[in-house]
Structure 1
Amino acid sequence: MDASKIALQGLRNDVQRLDVLSQNLVNANTPGYRRLALVARPFADVLSASHATATPLSVSVPQWQPITDERPGALQSTGRALDLALTGPGYFEVKTPDGLAYTRKGNFQIDPRGRLVTEQGYPVLGREGELLLGTGTPHIDASGRISVDGKPVGQLRVVQLDQASAALEELGHGLYGYSGTVEPLGNEAVSLSQGQLEGANTVARREMVELMATMRHFEAQTKLLQGYGEAMSSAIQEIGKF
């Protein structure tokens, strides 16, 4: 393995890391956002991928994979009846034109049809489908049961996503796509707070420090490649003299 291959793989890793850090920074003020982190892929997976693609191990196979940081964000009190924060595990389930999506961003609204929806207008699902709240004042208890003016209207569907079977796909606006195993949480497992929002679990200052360190590492790898290229060019010129 020569220096150019090492530097090239380092550049690929840095670009991947810059993408992840940039996404975390962009969403630092998005309620319910879960930051992404990079972890080293198991060597057996890297080796298998290298054999499958018939490419050199050190150049074409990414050495890192993104995972979602499931640590909760800080709660922010808003006093708004349709602001909901999950203080325990799970995600709200949302129906979008492209299928089901999942979110912890609980700044919901009532649309003209009286449905509980996201800020993009996507219906938030209950255990029996869409939730019709009408124009009354909703009360939502810790397990997600909803009543309007004292009358029960439904219960929020809060689900657990098994990220061992599939990774979350960032869709924007605090929504995630997911193709793995989805399990509804029972009443005892749901912990919900009305009138509050969960903040992003991203610490902007920490992400900025890591972003600057990654950019400096990228610059160092670039200089290494340039130096290697100049050394090779010089060597070729010397050989050509004979």
Structure 2
Amino acid sequence: MESGLYVALSGQIALERRLDTIARNMANVGTAGYRADEVSFEAVIAGMRDPVAFASAGETFILRQPGALTQTGNPLDVAVDGDAWLGIATPAGTAYTRDGRMRITPAGELQTLNGYPVLDVGNAPILLDPNGGEVKIARDGMITQDGQQVGAIGLFRIEPAAGLARYENAAVIPDIAAAPVLDFTANGIAQGFVEGSNVDPIRELTKLIMVSRTFEATATAIADTESSLKDGIRTLGGRS
């Protein structure tokens, strides 16, 4: 009888993690380049005389599907076309992002809007001429000003098997080193565009309703189990 109580409790713990990811995803619907969180669940078989399947807390992972592109016309906005990432230098080391909104500092350094240097394919910061005229960025990341090549934005591919740790909102740090992209047939840069979040708000709201109802059902199951335990104790104790 007690196992039913523990199974319901394990389910509530798993559902709480799912609620946390839904809340985080909904809070970042409008975050450029954001990749949604998802939770994978497994059953844990307890080593009892009669095996019992408990719900694990689940593992959180980051969905890699691209978000929709929006044309801005801003020459310092870029979007990644394909399965690649922009490299940025952060206090935690090199991170990778799909948020391609950039700026040029008075010293000429190309940075993200959060102030992190954008890297070339050799992981070096990119320096431009703040007074060098219009910035043009080709599909392969090559940057020109006044018809002169002045640098190139690096594109990097993260292995599908790599685990991703989130850095701030839109950036990630993989546990396997990312490799520079050298073939721009399948991957490239689109100037004047920004990639949005890949969060589907309708799907997240649907998940929220399902999780809320399931949480209520497990709460009812816990209450029923506790009531049955109390009845059993009264019966064994000779009380009516």
Same structural fold, with TM-score higher than 0.5 when normalized by the shorter chain = yes
Contact kept, 8 Å, 2:86 with 2:156, in 1: the verdict is: yes
Q: Which residue of the partner structure matches residue 4 of structure 2?
A: 3
The correspondence of residues 162-173 of structure 1 with structure 2, limited to 5 A, is 162-164=159-161, 166-173=162-169
**C-alpha distance 26-230 of structure 1, shift in aligned 2 (>3 A):** same
Task: Identify the match of residue 101 of structure 2 among 102, 107, 116.
Answer: 107
Contact kept, 8 Å, 1:91 with 1:104, in 2: the verdict is: yes
Q: Distance in 2 between matches of 1:210 and 1:27?
A: 16
Whether 1:183 and 2:179 are equivalent positions in the alignment is yes
Q: Distance in 2 between matches of 1:143 and 1:229?
A: 64
**C-alpha distance 30-124 of structure 1, shift in aligned 2 (>3 A):** same
Deviation at 1:81? Answer: 0.7
Deviation at 1:60? Answer: 8.0
Task: Identify the match of residue 122 of structure 1 among 109, 116, 122.
Answer: 116
Task: Identify the match of residue 198 of structure 1 among 195, 199, 202.
Answer: 195
Q: Distance in 1 between matches of 2:237 and 2:73?
A: 78
Deviation at 1:174? Answer: 1.1
Write the letter of the residue equivalent to 2:125: E
Deviations 1:187-237 (A, max 9, x none): 424321100001111111211111121011111111211221121122112
Task: Identify the match of residue 222 of structure 2 among 207, 213, 225.
Answer: 225
Q: TM-score, normalised by structure 2?
A: 0.88
Range with bigger deviation, 180-189 or 12-21? 180-189
Task: Identify the match of residue 82 of structure 2 among 77, 88, 92.
Answer: 88
Tell me which protein shows more helix as a share of its residues. Answer: 1
Deviation at 1:61? Answer: 4.0
Deviations 1:60-110 (A, max 9, x none): 843x33333222211101000111001111111110112111100011111
Q: Distance in 1 between matches of 2:223 and 2:229?
A: 10
Contact kept, 8 Å, 1:9 with 1:58, in 2: the verdict is: no
Deviations 1:111-165 (A, max 9, x none): 232111111111010124100112132100011111122111111111111131x
Q: Which residue of the partner structure matches residue 150 of structure 1?
A: 147
Give the gaps of 5 or more residues in structure 2.
none
Q: Distance in 1 between matches of 2:119 and 2:93?
A: 12
Q: Which residue of the partner structure matches residue 21 of structure 1?
A: 22
Runs in 1 of length 4+ with deviation above 6 angstroms? none
Between the two proteins, the alignment pairs up a number of residues equal to 231
Give the gaps of 5 or more residues in structure 1.
none
Contact kept, 8 Å, 1:93 with 1:159, in 2: the verdict is: yes
**C-alpha distance 34-57 of structure 1, shift in aligned 2 (>3 A):** farther
* Paired residue secondary structure (2:99): coil
Deviation at 1:59? Answer: 4.8
Deviation at 1:25? Answer: 0.9
Task: Identify the match of residue 174 of structure 1 among 170, 177, 201.
Answer: 170
Contact kept, 8 Å, 1:144 with 1:190, in 2: the verdict is: no
Q: TM-score, normalised by structure 1?
A: 0.87
